[in-house]
Amino acid sequence: MKTTGKNNFTESEGIFRSIFENSGEAILITHPNGAIYSANMEACRIFGMSEAEICNLGRDGIIDITDSRLLPALKVRQITGKFKGELTLIRKDGAKFPAEVTSTIFRDAAGDARTAMIIRDITQRKKAEMELHLQSEIMKNITEGINLVRQNDNLIVFTNPKFDVLFGYETGELIGKKVAILNAPTGKRPEETKQDIIDILNRTGEWHGEILNIKKNGSQIWCYVNISMFIHQDYGRVYLSVHSDITDRKQAEANIKESEARFRSLFENSLLGISITSPVGKLILVNNAYAQMYGYENPEKMLAEVISVGSLYANPADREEVLKSLQKNSFMAARELNVIRRDGSILSVLVTASAISDNEGNLLSFQATHLDLTDRKKYEEKIHAVSFYARNLIEASLDPLVTINADGKITDVNLATEQITGYERNRLIGSDFSDYFTEPQKAREGYKIVFHKGLVKDYPLTLLHKSGKTTPVLYNATLFKNESGEVQGVFAAARDITFRKKMEEELRMSSELLEKLNQHLHDVWEHEKAQLAMNIHDDLGQKLTALNMDLAWMKSRMGVQSQNVRKKLNEMSFDINETIDGIKEISALLRPAILFDLGLIPAITSHLNKFEKQSGIKCKLICDPEEFEIDDRLALILYRIIQESLTNAARHSKATSVQVSLKKIKSKVELLITDNGIGIDRNKVKSASSLGIAGIKERVNLVNGKMLIRGVKKSGTTIKVTIPFIKNRKDD
């Protein structure tokens, strides 16, 4: 969109042309209707166009007209003459980017309405804000792997360190890659699995379940995944996924299924008769050996004909004795009983039984094993086989297992115990069990607990290898008894928790690192604000002052015949002075110079006076002592806390007075801010949406301080902050 307005600009605003061309900010000179007259070099760079291309396109060509903020911005500028805010702009290649736009209406030398637009590309700032937000989320979920996937192209745009480690990648290596590289083949085709999840997400906005993924090295990893879908201001529709490694659990489930299959195989093929009955005596399950022992062709036939297990006893009193034994000890040792077969004949069997209960101790069933005593030798051989199998299970255990007699001497160990202590079995058996721990007395105390309570769970100890190497373990132990119910000693099992300890230490170090990073980001942010304040004040302020002086020079050379021009110059001078005042205001907010030049107390006093004039809320300052020589960083944090607290009071408290008390108590500084307003609600203190309070808490945490907020309905709110006192280094 071409016009001769550019020539008018060049001729009438020559002084400003130098600033316009050499500014580090993108500047456009436009008409309120959207026509563009001129664009400086920075504007051409940002949009990737020549000045002529920008002028030809006009406002609608470089600003996203679908941005809902555009029309309100134009309305504000029309009413007030100025606008400052964020809009979405468009580069030459069609790429959209966020920008901070300042637009002001002015009149050129010919009296025509013009607008000056200052544009700042804030893409990187938005990205930094998102990363800071994600860092905050990561701190809450640091033990889980987190990633963010853009929906339209399935590209990974963020991962936390835990996620990278979980899948075996270097930090940031997954950024920009397709999420499909994490998919592992399953029973369904990957694209179908993904579509199922997407369908659920589109309906409900979230999905959770188990997914089989593949790590960088090609190994598979099972994860329990929580996925939520939301709209991100930079990436559009995205998926936020939280991954928990459940590979060990899946392996355990597979082992359980395998164990159940082995049990089923053992149950079905065992030569011992095995039965399971309900608490009221109804047969629930029998194996082939049991059914055939009683003269039935198969288990189904026996279950159909036998109503109650009590009918199988030749002597009904035996049934009562079995139940009494099970009720007392939940187990009945091997006992010889006479039972009735299908044909009415009497059979002698050796019976063992146990009560099966759930985790709450509720009785579920009874399990019994029957051995036909007509073939005693066969029985003994099978008992030996079962014993050998049990021994193999013990030896195969990865956990150290020991039995200890009533005197505290080791009576048996497995291979894992030999390996973790470095001593052979014959050396361990007969020795005092406490000799193999770094704290023998603590080990003996745990042993006493077992005898007192019958068991001990997750008792922390440290095993000592003969080489001096130590292994942290959790011990679980219980009493074991003989057939007569007499206590024989303790059966103990240890679980190596070296890996868990390592993970806990890494988590602690990670938390400390995140805290230091947060402190660094805060310091960087304050430094950048200070630099920005000085640049605005020194650069723009000086240039506007120079421009004002040039206007004064021009006015001094105007004749009487130039009253209209003199009036216009006066208006321009007034606008420039207002702009200079605004720059000073912004600079003071970004970097309170009075704080660093005169100290904390004068800065607080000045801010309270200004706040009182602006809000009408009476302010009172109490200082003890009256002067504070405090570290600049702590002083700035205290000043920011007061600023935020007063802002909250003005917005929400409906207070008429505020009192600020600052005291030095020994090695700490105590700050009290009290108002007489309506009193903050307790839920708002803890609410994540209370950004002002969250900001105060974050600043207090940065200096290892403590904060307490107390609100009394209709009686006001008190904020108490206590931080360690650090004297200003420049005074040392």
pLDDT in tens, 325-336: 888 888 888 888
What residues contact 609, with CB distance under 8 A and at least 6 apart? 619
Return the exposure string of 453-467: e unless at least 16 CB atoms fall within 10 Å of the residue's CB, then b: eeebeebebebbeee
Query: pLDDT by residue (tens digit) across 303-360?
Result: 888 888 888 888 888 888 888 888 888 888 888 888 898 888 888 888 888 888 877 7
Residue 689 scores a pLDDT above 80? no
Residue 457 scores a pLDDT above 90? no
The pLDDT of residue 9 is 45
Mean pLDDT of 590-600: 71
Rg (CA), the chain: 41
Could you give the 3-state DSSP secondary structure of residue 540? helix
The pLDDT of residue 580 is 67
Phi, psi of 402 (to 5 degrees): -140, 155
Report d(CA 102, CA 116) in Å as an integer. 8
Tokens standing for 272?
Answer: 């011992």
pLDDT above 90 covers what percent of the chain? 13
Mean pLDDT of 444-468: 86
pLDDT above 70 covers what percent of the chain? 80
Instruction: Report yes or no: 80 and 123 within 8 Å, Cβ to Cβ.
Output: no
**Which residues partner with 104 through β-bridges?**
82, 116
- Highest-pLDDT range among 9-23, 50-64, 510-524, 713-727: 50-64
The pLDDT of residue 534 is 55
Q: Mean pLDDT across the chain, nearest whole number?
A: 80
Neighbour tally for 194: CB within 10 Å: 16
Neighbour tally for 594: CB within 10 Å: 17
Task: Spell out the CATH class of 5-121.
Answer: alpha beta
Report d(CA 93, CA 96) in Å as an integer. 9
Residue 686 scores a pLDDT above 80? no
Residue 182 scores a pLDDT above 70? yes
Residue ranges covered by each domain of the chain: 5-121, 126-251, 270-391, 397-496, 512-587, 592-731
Q: What is the topology classification, in CATH, of domain 126-251?
A: Beta-Lactamase (3.30.450)
The pLDDT of residue 687 is 65
What residues contact 67, with CB distance under 8 A and at least 6 apart? 87, 88
Query: pLDDT by residue (tens digit) across 201-212?
Result: 888 888 888 888
Query: pLDDT by residue (tens digit) across 482-504?
Result: 767 777 788 888 888 777 777 77
- pLDDT band (50, 70, 90) for residue 12: very low
Residue 708 scores a pLDDT above 60? yes
Query: pLDDT by residue (tens digit) across 356-411?
Result: 887 777 888 888 888 887 766 455 566 566 656 656 667 767 788 888 888 888 88
The pLDDT of residue 63 is 92
- Beta-strand ranges (E) seen in 384-453 are 401-405, 410-413
- pLDDT band (50, 70, 90) for residue 249: confident
What residues contact 693, with CB distance under 8 A and at least 6 apart? 648, 684, 685, 687, 709
Asked whether the CA dihedral 217, 220, 226, 232 is positive or negative, the reply is: positive
Report d(CA 436, CA 458) in Å as an integer. 18
Statement: 397-496 belongs to CATH 3.30.450.20: yes
The pLDDT of residue 188 is 46
Neighbour tally for 307: CB within 10 Å: 11
Mean pLDDT of 145-149: 88
Residue with more model confidence, 444 or 265: 444
What residues contact 132, with CB distance under 8 A and at least 6 apart? 521
Report d(CA 38, CA 417) in Å as an integer. 84
Same fold, 5-121 and 397-496: yes
Task: Spell out the CATH class of 270-391.
Answer: alpha beta
How many helices (DSSP H) and strands (DSSP E) are in the chain? 25, 25
Angle in degrees, 0-180, between the axes of helices 498-535 and 691-702, rounded to the nearest 10: 110
Q: What is the topology classification, in CATH, of domain 592-731?
A: Heat Shock Protein 90 (3.30.565)
The pLDDT of residue 285 is 86
Residue 670 scores a pLDDT above 50? yes
The pLDDT of residue 656 is 92
Residue with more model confidence, 603 or 545: 603
Closest CA to 476 of 499, 498, 453: 453
Residue 193 scores a pLDDT above 70? no
Residue with more model confidence, 731 or 144: 144
Report d(CA 694, CA 702) in Å as an integer. 12
- Highest-pLDDT range among 434-443, 580-589, 719-728: 434-443
Mean pLDDT of 238-243: 88
φ/ψ bin of 176: left (φ > 0), alpha (ψ from -120 to 50), beta (otherwise): left
Could you give the 3-state DSSP secondary structure of residue 172? coil
Mean pLDDT of 21-44: 88
Report d(CA 586, CA 534) in Å as an integer. 10
Residue 282, judged by CB atoms within 10 A of its CB (0-12, 13-18, 19+), counts as middle
